Homo-oligomer: A and B are copies of this chain.
Amino acid sequence: MTVNRRILLSARPDGLVTEACLERVEEPVPQIGDGEVLVRVLCLSVDPTNRVWMREEDSYLPAIELGAVVRAAGLGEVVESRREGFGSGDLVMGLPGWQDYWKLTADDMGQVVPPGIAVEDLLSIYGATGVTAYFGLLEIGKPQPGETVVVSGAAGGVGSVAGQIARIKEAGRVIGIAGTDEKCRWVVEDLGFDACINYKTEDVATRLRELCPDGIDVYFDNVGGEILDAVLLQINIGARIVMCGAISEYTRAESAGLKNYKELIMQRGRMEGFIILDYVDRFIEAIMELAPWVAEGRIKYAVEVVDGLEHAPDALNRLFTGDHAGKLIVRVAAPSA
């Protein structure tokens, strides 16, 4: 391929991402200078945070500038390197964005990953997704044996793994919340959650009361909004709420507002956010503990691969319509070997 297809952000979306917010261009493959690396993008991770970065306000990273390529995590293969430590054919993880070729400059995050792990695994269980579940649950949630753990976005890439880690750590009860009966079935029958609430057809507060008779000790939250509000009413003394994501907020212009936050006072609870980038130095620690659990079948995960860079925007929208289960990945190109 001698053309670099790129998908640029041309306007800030309101709700889902539409073509009106994007500009699809074809440019020559970039030239690199000293200290730079040319990477052919293989796979892109589809994450709620992509949509956060499209908003006008800066978040934990600056907002994507209008006219710039859409920022996204992913994995590619080194085509040409003028930087020590990066050799032709090496696999590199970082933030390539929605394009075929990624010019990795000295300022960009990019790490060579060891060969021998499937690209899909590197972007799911052994990538930010699995590691997010690991550190979020264990460092912030700190579930103790016997405690009740609730996970929203339970069928998603992060939530599905978080619930299984809670189980491994001997939580007394692991309850999921997801958006279809099929997802709920998967979470309970295949992943071993005790129960799963379909928030689109069931009353979350009522079901939580039934399914968590001893209250909620840890809530691993991927969604924020009304579901977080329902959970707050049922937290136990000393409860920990892991704020991993708030996907219900990202496509809204203004939040509906969290009404029950004062329960954190009454129950001496804690609500704490984290960003997995802060744990980059500790990824290997998580992977070393996750790998045997995966090998023993104690952690299962699902990856859905969407073929073609051109489908990246639709894939992202599916996170917000709930039309997926497990980790969603866009395959841009096949590895050369």
Contacts and interface: CB of A to CB of B under 8 A. Distances in A.
Contacts of A273: 262-270
Contact of A246 (B244, B249, B255, B262): B262
B246 A265 contact: yes
Nearest to A250: B262
A246 B259 CA distance: 12
Interface string A118-157: 0000000000000000000000000000000000000000
A249 B265 CA distance: 12
Interface of A is mostly: loop
A60 B244 contact: no
A81 to B, nearest CB: 33
A60 B270 CA distance: 15
A240 to B, nearest CB: 9
A272 B264 contact: yes
In this complex, the interface size class of chain A, counting residues with CB under 8 Å from chain B, is 20 to 34
Interface string A268-297: 111111110010000000000000000000
A268 B257 contact: no
Contacts of A246: 261-262, 265
Given A270-B270, A271-B271, A243 B255 contact: no
Contacts of A269: 272-273
Contacts of A60: 265-268
Contacts of A264: 243, 271-273
A117 interface: no
A224 B268 contact: no
Interface of A: 52, 59-60, 224, 243-246, 249, 254-275, 278
